[in-house]
Amino acid sequence: MLDFSKFLKYSKPGPRYTSYPTALEFSSDYEYDEYIKKLESQDSSRPISLYFHLPFCRNACYFCGCNVVFTSKEEKMLRYIEYLKRELAILSKHLDVNREVLQMHFGGGTPTFFTAPQLKVIIDEIKSVFPNFRDDAEISCEIDPRHIDEAQMKVMSEAGFNRVSFGIQDFNEKVQIAIHRVQPYDVTKKAMDLARKYNMHSVNVDLIYGLPYQSLETFKETLKLSLSINPDRFAVFNYAHVPWMKKTMRKIDETTLPRPDEKLEIMQYTIDFLTSHGYRMVGMDHFAKPEDELFKAIDKGELHRNFQGYTTKGGADLIGVGLTSISEGIDSYNQNFKDMKLYEAAIEDGKLPFERGVVLNEDDLIRQFVIMELMSNFKLDIKRFEKLYNVNFKEYFGDAIEALQPFVEEELLVINDNKIECSETGTLLIRNICMPFDAYMKKHVSNKKTFSKTV
Ligand SMILES: C[S@@+](CC[C@H](N)C(=O)[O-])C[C@H]1O[C@@H](n2cnc3c(N)ncnc32)[C@H](O)[C@@H]1O
Ligand code: SF4
């Protein structure tokens, strides 16, 4: 095993690059009318990828960084469905809804806090607004295994959902108690059996490393148990600890968190373990079986990264619906209100609940390409890049190349005239490797309360 302590110097705040520029650059200077113009001028021949944010959960998992509304009130959830319907109706005035839908994702929160009949109402409404789902559309839902029943899985299966993602995080009881999420193995296994019974084509499980009381030994057991339910994909996230942004994270005793070198060791072990059991690494935190379509996409250079992680469905405009959801066009990111009252008020006004976003300039687009290539494929074909953007890589990115020299010297990275490529260990530090290409990093460097630590 490598001595990871020499990489401790790389443990610093850094983005996860689900977008570039990152959400810190989203601003309300980008105004509603400009957003509407962008939406209305989208190329109708491009397909659509839909994201629905269903934000409700009953109890807080202390580690949770998602945009969640905690409630046990059914009337709140029914009210939300009404506003979703109204948002869709307004959207249909600004967008050609007959465009092909090639992907739809329900995220949260916990979408399965909605009952089976409620989920059916939401799905039916979406399909009546967007009638052209492709036959092979990828339709997926995030599921908390503690909150899924057969009727819900049946509704989703009948509506064409073919992928589900289960949150596990960790199977160790001490860890589960510390994160306020007790989820016995049997509960997860039952959820998996339901997914298989209803022919979900692909089942992902989420794990997190870096949680309280985790060690290499406890995580080995979590990996073993997770493998025993035979998921098609694993997402193994680095715990993003941002207690200045998320109050519930303050309930986590920081002295119980594993050290950065322990975390690197856990991730290195995870890579070795999953690859020795037939999975391959995809991007920063995903693993899939080699026959997974993600690998065909890698070979064709078509793997993309967006707010939901990695996807094969590039070339589509992402339309986000619901509280806090983010849309992504060719040259813009657009986010809905995070505050329920403001979200509802905009819709009452007959407007889309757009709050803020960013329009990408030429330099943003160039850097976005480089960063997304590195985040997805751990390498960049410099010649291809130069042809696409008509710039000289070494001239344009002189300072980034210089800043990356320590990585080259430590054999974490190769840079030559044709390519940039991470070594296997370098992939663990991919966020650090992308940061020199990020034009906005300098602005945030002195502020420690921005991003989670890279390691
Ligand atoms: C919306 S949840 C998944 C669905 C469901 N709510 C659940 O928890 O099972 C999205 C996933 O994000 C990951 N996640 C949430 N907060 C995180 C954090 N602070 N750091 C890293 N991953 C996080 C978890 O793995 C979680 O399963
Ligand atoms: S991890 Fe999932 S279940 Fe837990 S609070 Fe976050 S969204 Fe809800």
Q: What would the pLDDT profile of 282-323 be if each residue is shown by its tens digit?
A: 888 899 998 888 877 777 777 888 777 777 767 799 999 999
The HSE-up count of residue 394 (CA atoms within 13 Å, CB side) is 6
Question: Does residue 237 line the site of ligand 1, with CB under 6 A?
Answer: yes
**Residue 345: C-alpha distances to residues 30, 83, 225, 350, 413 (Å):** 19, 10, 46, 9, 50
Indicate the pairing of strand 101-108 with strand 133-143: parallel
Ligand 2 nearest-atom number relative to CA 142: 2
Question: Does residue 111 line the site of ligand 1, with CB under 6 A?
Answer: no
> How confident is the model at residue 1, as a pLDDT?
60
Question: Does residue 206 line the site of ligand 1, with CB under 6 A?
Answer: yes
Question: Does residue 61 line the site of ligand 2, with CB under 6 A?
Answer: yes
Query: Are residues 54 and 83 in contact, defined by beta-carbon separation less than 8 angstroms?
Result: no
CA distance linking residue 431 with residue 447, whole number of Å: 17
Give the SS3 label for residue 416.
coil
Give the SS3 label for residue 311.
strand
For the chain, the farthest-separated pair of C-alpha atoms sits apart, in whole angstroms, at 61
Question: Does residue 382 line the site of ligand 2, with CB under 6 A?
Answer: no
- What is the number of the ligand closest to the CA of 112? 1
pTM metric for this prediction: 0.95
> How confident is the model at residue 303, as a pLDDT?
80
Question: Does residue 142 line the site of ligand 1, with CB under 6 A?
Answer: yes
Number of C-beta neighbours around residue 313 at 10 A: 17
Give the CA angle between residues 172, 261, 431 to the nearest 5°. 100
- In the chain, which stretches have pLDDT less than 70? 1-3, 313
Q: In what order do the strands lie in the sheet with 332-336?
A: 280-282, 286-288, 233-238, 202-209, 163-169, 133-143, 101-108, 48-54, 317-321, 326-329, 332-336, 354-359
Residue with tokens 């329900």: 106
The domains found in the chain, sorted by start residue, are 16-321 (3.80.30.20), 362-439 (1.10.10.920)
> How confident is the model at residue 431, as a pLDDT?
93
Query: Are residues 335 and 343 in contact, defined by beta-carbon separation less than 8 angstroms?
Result: no
Which residues, in sequence order, are CB contacts of 202 under 8 Å at separation 6+?
Answer: 162, 163, 164, 232, 233, 292
- What is the number of the ligand closest to the CA of 68? 2
Ligand 1 nearest-atom number relative to CA 240: 20
Query: Are residues 309 and 286 in contact, defined by beta-carbon separation less than 8 angstroms?
Result: yes
CA distance linking residue 275 with residue 289, whole number of Å: 9
CA of 53 to the centre of ligand 1 (A): 14
Report which protein residue has its CA nearest ligand 2's atom 6: 64
CA distance linking residue 29 with residue 31, whole number of Å: 6
CA distance linking residue 248 with residue 413, whole number of Å: 37
Ligand 2 nearest-atom number relative to CA 68: 7
Joined tokens for residue 265 = 């060791």
- What is the number of the ligand closest to the CA of 111? 1
Ligand 2 nearest-atom number relative to CA 146: 3
CA of 110 to the centre of ligand 1 (A): 10
Q: In what order do the strands lie in the sheet with 419-422?
A: 379-381, 419-422, 413-415
> How confident is the model at residue 204, as a pLDDT?
96
Question: Does residue 68 line the site of ligand 2, with CB under 6 A?
Answer: yes
Question: Does residue 143 line the site of ligand 2, with CB under 6 A?
Answer: no
Question: Does residue 60 line the site of ligand 2, with CB under 6 A?
Answer: yes
Query: Are residues 66 and 109 in contact, defined by beta-carbon separation less than 8 angstroms?
Result: yes
Report which protein residue has its CA nearest ligand 1's atom 15: 64
CA of 340 to the centre of ligand 1 (A): 21
Torsion of CA 390, 395, 399, 401, to 10 degrees: 80
